[in-house]
Amino acid sequence: MATAKLLRQLIKSGTEGNQDAFVRISEQLILEERAKKHHLLANDLEKILYGRRNSMALQHTALLERLPKDRERNLPLLQLKEPVRRIEDVVLSDENTSLLNEVLQEHHQVEILQSYGLHPADKVLFCGPPGCGKTLTAEVLASELSLPLAIVRIDSVVSSFLGETAANLRQVFDFIASIPMVVLFDEFDALAKERSDMAEHGELKRVVNAFLQMLDAYEGKSILLAATNHEGILDSAIWRRFDEVLIFESPNSEQLRRLLSIKLRGLRREFEIENPRIIKMFKGMSHADVERVLRRAAKDMVLAGKKFLDERHLQASIRREDARRVRIQRS
């Protein structure tokens, strides 16, 4: 608990209507709570004091200045993304929803777990094809925990000098250990692939093993997520390092219905989302494909000067999506 002195000063400034003193003392209180590692409480207090978006923006700016860089190219090794979307913006399978809620609950109640010598799940693997919500779920986790989201692209960490790669990894792990964040190691398979393809390459293997050791030894404040499109190439040495694994797939009919109702929110239309014929039109697409089709259909509607989206807009947009797929496959 905050010191009695600060609490007295806080209430005094409030009753006297002294706004400057109130903000200053509140900030001291937040600092004190942060020093005691009560991050969720400190975040909550910041949200109350500055408003949610302002408090996230403040954290974001402060972090930008401290991002570690690759010495060779002078490029940041992590990208910061301000988490905006919330849990109601993502459509997940029942299994993934409950796994995500469990992870959130463990982090919301970290102190109770710690008092029993237990740790919340802080290494989670996301597997599945492109466009099914891996990056979005990382964003949702960050926004629900009021933490910044940092994305590490393995290819930006891998340097042409192998010695630098290990140093880059060390920098990333040191950075994320000291500041609580949600960290997504995106395209994690790039690293795992090199592990299997180039097992004979002694130095590269050492780098990969260094990464796995850093993952094992990691006891920092951040939640580490790794995302892959190619879970088939991950060996058991990698799987066992994660507390939880979430498998992402293309949406089934029920998930399509929920996705359509989220993505078409606020748009006037001449069809019912519940109509099985409508749902069937999107069968087999990823969430991101569905989103692209709807966006294109909405643009067509607006540009044609119409006020209501109808089935023909959807059909025309899906035909263009099919043509796009054929073009990509040919190239």
- Contact residues toward ligand ATP (CB under 6 A) are 90-92, 130-136, 229, 248, 259, 287-288, 291
Question: If contact means CB under 5 to 8 A according to the sort of partner, which of Mg ion, ligand ATP, none does residue 83 touch?
Answer: none
Residue 43's CB is within 10 A of a number of other CB atoms, namely 21
For ligand ATP, the closer CB: 130 or 276:
130
Q: In angstroms, rounded to a whole number, what is the distance separating the alpha carbons of residues 57 and 42?
A: 15
Q: In angstroms, rounded to a whole number, what is the distance separating the alpha carbons of residues 266 and 38?
A: 39
Question: If contact means CB under 5 to 8 A according to the sort of partner, which of ligand ATP, Mg ion, none does residue 148 touch?
Answer: none
For Mg ion, the closer CB: 39 or 134:
134
Question: If contact means CB under 5 to 8 A according to the sort of partner, which of Mg ion, ligand ATP, none does residue 132 touch?
Answer: ligand ATP
Question: If contact means CB under 5 to 8 A according to the sort of partner, which of Mg ion, ligand ATP, none does residue 212 touch?
Answer: none
Question: 3-class SS at 243?
Answer: coil
Question: If contact means CB under 5 to 8 A according to the sort of partner, which of ligand ATP, Mg ion, none does residue 125 touch?
Answer: none
For ligand ATP, the closer CB: 194 or 249:
249
List the alpha helices (DSSP H) in the chain.
Answer: 4-15, 19-35, 39-50, 52-64, 94-108, 110-115, 134-144, 154-157, 162-178, 189-197, 202-217, 236-239, 253-263, 276-281, 287-303, 311-330
The residue whose Cβ lies closest to ligand ATP is 133
135 touching Mg ion, by CB under 5 A: yes
Residues 6+ away with beta carbon under 8 Å from 159? 70, 72, 73, 165, 168
Q: Torsion angle, CA of 287/293/299/305, rounded to 10 degrees?
A: -120
With contacts defined by CB under 5 A, name the span among 31-39, 48-56, 133-141, 153-161 that binds Mg ion.
133-141
Could you tell me the smallest distance in angstroms from the CB atom of residue 135 to Mg ion? 3
The residue whose Cβ lies closest to Mg ion is 135
Between strands 223-228 and 244-247, the pairing is: unpaired
Residues at the interface with Mg ion (CB under 5 A) = 134-135
